[in-house]
Structure 1
Amino acid sequence: MDHIENNQLMKIGIIVDNIEEASQHFCELFGSEKPVIRIPDLNHVPQHSESGYTWYRGTFIPGRVKIANMQMGPVTVELLEAYDEPGPWNEFKQQYGQGVHFITFTIPGFEQHIDFVESKGFPQTHKGEYGKGRYSYFDTIAKLGVTLGLQELGAPTDTPVMPQSGGHV
């Protein structure tokens, strides 16, 4: 592999302070319907398994964040309101405030792409599986100005690798 196999931007993730207000402003500006805001159950303790987990900087985390997805042409704008707990969304909010956190590309061969991006000097910081998909973020802000995200949807095209707690994939 000598490059990421899809250069079609699929998703832009924006960290916001108040998801209800931000989604309302987007809807007013673009004349769209207000999206469903997914709010996680803060009392739910996730059971991390190969079919569902959220791994961040060497440990499994609850991975809770409020999310609202808005389809804007071929790109999904994903608004995220972070909770005050360890995770990539709260880390971004603490360091930068509101703003564009990540851009995501959908690729085939998830694990091969992770290996490729890491071979270019961008370590994986976050990885998750959620049944019909998997995603990963990389430490790219210093060189790309944004966090690079990769996702694979549907059945894996390679063998999924669940990270180890305390370690790196």
Structure 2
Amino acid sequence: MEHIENNQLMKIGIVVDNIEEAAKHYSELFGIEMPAIRVPELNRVPQHTESGYTWYRGTFIPGRVKLANLQMGPVKVELLEAYDEASPWNEFKQQYGQGVHFITFTVPGFEQHIDFVESKGFPLTHKGEYGKGRYSYFDTIAKLGVTLGLQELGEPKDIPIMPKAEGQA
């Protein structure tokens, strides 16, 4: 592999302090329908399996975040309100406040793309599988000005590899 196999931006993730207010402002400014806001069940204990997990900096996490999706032409704008717990969204909020956290591209061959991006000196920091797709974030802010995200939709094209938690053999 010589480069990421898709340069069509699919999603921009924006960390916000108050998702209800932010979604309302976007809706009013662009004359679009108010998006549904997904609020995670805070008492749910996640079961990390090959078909559903959230891994962040060496540890499996609940991966809870309030989110709303706005389809803006070909690009989805994902608003995210972080909870005060370990997650890439909360880490971003603590370091930078509100703002554009990630840009995401859809790729074929998810694991091969992760290997490629890491070979370019950008470590994988976050990875998730949610049954109908998988996504990842890399440590790219210092060199790209934003977190690079890759996603693959549909059934895995190759064997998914669930990361190990720290201390796990």
TM-score calculated relative to the size of structure 1: 0.98
Deviations 1:82-101 (A, max 9, x none): 00000000000000000000
**Which residue matches 1:142?**
142
**Which residue matches 1:62?**
62
1:167–1:71: structure 2 CA closer, same or farther, 3 Å change rule?
Answer: farther
Residue 157 of structure 1, CA deviation:
1.1
Instruction: Give unmatched runs, 5+ long, in structure 1.
Output: none
- What amino acid does structure 1 have at the position aligned with 2:59? T
Separation (CA, whole Å) in 1 of partners of 2:15 and 2:27: 17
SS at 2:117 equivalent: helix
Q: After superposition, where does 1:1-169 map in structure 2 within 5 Å?
A: 1-166=1-166
SS at 1:40 equivalent: coil
- What amino acid does structure 2 have at the position aligned with 1:115? D
CA RMSD of aligned residues (A): 1.0
Instruction: Give unmatched runs, 5+ long, in structure 2.
Output: none
Separation (CA, whole Å) in 1 of partners of 2:167 and 2:141: 22
The percent identity for this pair of structures is 83
Residue 158 of structure 1, CA deviation:
1.4
Deviations 1:111-130 (A, max 9, x none): 00000000000000000000
SS at 1:6 equivalent: coil
| Number of corresponding residues | 168
Separation (CA, whole Å) in 1 of partners of 2:31 and 2:89: 27
